[in-house]
Structure 1
C-alpha cells in the first residue's frame, strides 16, 4: 500500500477509539471493522497522541455535520470523496449519491469489508493511482452529468505540493462546474509548533507533509473558489470537551492553535 494510504489506518484507528469511548464525538461504529492485526499494528504508535487524536475525531465530526446539512436539503446530492481512505459516511449518513476515489489496494480492502452492495445509499468506488493517473480523466469517466456536488478532501491537503493541489482544483472545476469543496487546511506555523511529533510518526510510515503555506485558504481562493466558511478543529474538540484548555487562553495565547488548522468550506463558482 502507498505510504500515504497507510495513514488511513491512523485516521480509522482514531475513529475506532472515539466510537468505543463513553461520549463519542463522531461515533463511527464501522471503523473497527477495518482495524485488523495489520491496522492495529500501524496504529499502535499513535495511541500516545491523545490531543491530536481527539482533534482528528472532531475534524471528522465537523465534516459529518456539514454533509448532513447539505444532504438534508438535497438527499440526492452527489458526494465525491477524494482520498476516501476508510471513510464510512456513505453507510452512516442519510442520503447522497457517493463516489469514492483512492489507491487500488485500499479500495479493494474496503470493498471486501464493506461491500458497495450493502450500502444504503448509491455508492461507487473507483481505484486511482494519484501519481500516474489524471484526476480529471478519472472523474470524467465516472461523472455522467453536471449536477451539483460536494467534494470532500479530508486529511489529504498537507501531503500535496502546491502544484498537485492546483492540478486537483483545476480537475474539480473542469469536471464539476458547480460544487462545494470541504477540506481541512493546516498552516506552516501550526505544523511546526503543534504537529512536529505526530508528523515524525507519520514519516515512519513512509509519508510526510509537503511544504505547507502560511495561508492555504488564500491559495484555494486564488484558484477560483469563494470562501464560504471555516471551523476550528481544536475549537470543536474544545466544545466537545475532548481537550481541556481555559477558553480565554485558547482565544488569546493559543490563537495559532485555534486558527492554524481548520475545516474550510469553499464554493465554485
Structure 2
C-alpha cells in the first residue's frame, strides 16, 4: 500500500491494522478483520515487529501487552457501537481519525446507516486504493471525509458530505486523543460538544496521566516518540473531562466488567489507588 504522505501519527494506524491481523488469526479471537492484511502492508508489519521485540519481556503492571489491549479496545468499541444502533433510533456514525478502520466493512449493521470516516486525504486515498473492489457491509453507506481534526473545519467537511448535525449520531474517537496536546483536545471536545446533537452516543479511549511517563513502559513511549508520534496528553478523570463539554460518560478500565473478554491477566487497581498507569475505555451520551 502506498503510504506516501502519511505523517507519523497516521503511520500508527498501520500498526493498529497489523495488530488486527494477529488477532484475526487467533482461535480465541475477539473479532475477525479479513481486510487487515490488505491495509497493514509491509510498513504496518514492520512497526508491529518493532513493538513486539521491545515489549516481549516487560510491561507496566496493570497494562496489557499492546496486542491484548488493542483486541480489548476494538471489541469494546464494536460492542458499544452495536448497543447504540440496536434500537434503530440512530442511523449516522462518525469515525474520527478513522485511519485503517474497517468497521464499515466487517461489522453486521442492523439497519441502514451512514458511516462518515474522517481523516486526512492521503490516508483515505491509500485506504480506498487498498480496498478497491471491496464493498462496505450491507446496510452501510460509507462517506470518506478528507479533513484534519486539528487544522481544518472538520464540521463543515462533514456537513458537506451529507451529515445532518441536527440528528443524533454515534461518535467514535479511537486511538486519537492521546496524540493531541491538551489544548488540541480541549478545542476538539469543545467543538464536538457544540456540534453533536443531544442524545448522541460517544465512544472513545483515553490515557491516564501516569501512563504518559510510566517507567516500566519508558522504552515503548520512547519508541513512539522516535517515530514522531508520542503520547502527549491524558486525564485521570475522564468523566469530569467530558462533562465539561456536555457529555455524561462511564469510564471503564480494561479488565473490569464489560471490558475484559478474558484477555486481562493483571489485577485491576481501584481508581482510588494513586500512581497507577491507567487506560480508560469510555462511552456515554451528549446531554
Aligned to 2:148: 129
* TM-score of the aligned structures, taking structure 1 as reference length: 0.87
**Aligned residues, how many?**
265
Aligned to 2:233: 211
Post-superposition offset of 1:98: 0.3
Aligned to 1:45: 50
Aligned to 2:62: none
Distance, in Å, in 2 between the alignment partners of 1:4 and 1:172 is 21
Distance, in Å, in 2 between the alignment partners of 1:71 and 1:42 is 34
Aligned to 1:12: 17
Contact 1:83 1:101 in 2 (8 A): yes
Match of 1:225 among 236, 247, 251: 247
**Cα RMSD for the two superposed structures:** 2.7
1:92-130 residue CA offsets vs partner (Å, 9 max, x unmatched): 222232000012111111111224971121100111133
Match of 1:84 among 64, 74, 98: 98
Aligned to 2:60: none
Gaps of 5+ in 1: none
Secondary structure class of the residue paired with 1:29: coil
Post-superposition offset of 1:226: 1.5
Residues 116/71 of structure 1: CA separation in 2 closer, same or farther (3 Å cut): farther
Aligned to 2:61: none
Query: Does residue 153 of structure 1 match 2:162?
Result: no
Secondary structure class of the residue paired with 2:213: helix
Gaps of 5+ in 2: 1-5, 57-64
Shifted more, 106-115 versus 42-51: the winner is: 42-51
Residues 99/213 of structure 1: CA separation in 2 closer, same or farther (3 Å cut): same
Aligned to 1:162: 182
Aligned to 1:61: 75
Query: Which is richer in helix?
Result: 1
Contact 1:58 1:237 in 2 (8 A): no
Post-superposition offset of 1:157: 0.8
Distance, in Å, in 1 between the alignment partners of 2:232 and 2:145 is 25
Post-superposition offset of 1:261: 1.0
Aligned to 1:103: 120
Query: Does residue 141 of structure 1 match 2:160?
Result: yes
Post-superposition offset of 1:62: 0.3
Aligned to 1:261: 279
Post-superposition offset of 1:44: 1.9
Post-superposition offset of 1:263: 0.9
Residues 135/125 of structure 1: CA separation in 2 closer, same or farther (3 Å cut): same
